[in-house]
Amino acid sequence: MAPLIALEREPKFEGSAGTLRRPVFELEGTSTALEDPLPGIDPRALRGLNTTADFHMYPEEEPSPIETWEAVEDQVTSLEFLRAMLELEIYSALDASPVEDGQCHGTEDILRRVLVDLTDAPIWLQSLIFERSTPSTAASLIKCLGRLEPPVSLAWRANIIRNALAHSDIEVRDTAVQAVENWKDKELLVALKKHDEKEGWLRDYINRVIRDVME
């Protein structure tokens, strides 16, 4: 079997925008998708990743079996491997239990580690929330982020809030307002004031948050 070649760029993802998609790594121009989900874990959480001995890669031409995570790690950089493992942890935690008001969630600790361990955490998180997650998952991630000490920079937080308020899903917009309420950044009120919310109860919530944070 030909030796495995290290990846030189990040994986692309199969599937339509706004859905959980399988990672596709390019090896010398050949697309390969990671298959066979872990037993006992919802395949949606794994997004095609696997850690079992039945792990295989399927090139466009001749199949090339890969038996363990160690073999995968040999092909990707340590940063890419860390991203994949953290993403797997996040989706597994969210799949295990819903994010509910007034209750801590395991995803919050994972996000804290992401912000410490990933050098590109701001870009990676924004992509995870708005490009590679369902609306429900995006809302859960924003809700968990909003419970942390104000992360990254004010500019980054403002961008998260603007994108969330522009989302078609009301649950995502609601969690954006919750995040502003929790962080209490007066600068973020600009995004709330500019937002034209059509849903009455959420518009009332936005006005109340604006008043509370201004005090």
The domains of the chain, with CATH numbers, are: 1-96 (no CATH), 99-215 (1.20.930)
CA distance 112 to 132: 20
How far out from the chain centre does Cα 51 lie?
20
Given this model, what pLDDT does residue 159 score? 96
Given this model, what pLDDT does residue 204 score? 98
- Report whether 105 contacts 144 (CB < 8 A): yes
- Report whether 92 contacts 45 (CB < 8 A): yes
Given this model, what pLDDT does residue 71 score? 58
Residue 183 burial by Cβ neighbours in a 10 Å radius (0-12, 13-18, 19+): buried
Given this model, what pLDDT does residue 70 score? 60
**CA–CA distances in Å: residue 66 to residues 32, 187, 201:** 11, 50, 52
- pTM score, whole prediction: 0.65
Q: Give residues with Cβ within 8 angstroms of 188, minimum separation 6.
A: 154, 157, 158, 161, 180, 213
Given this model, what pLDDT does residue 151 score? 86
pLDDT < 70 positions in the chain: 1-77
A 10 A CB-CB count for 181 gives 18
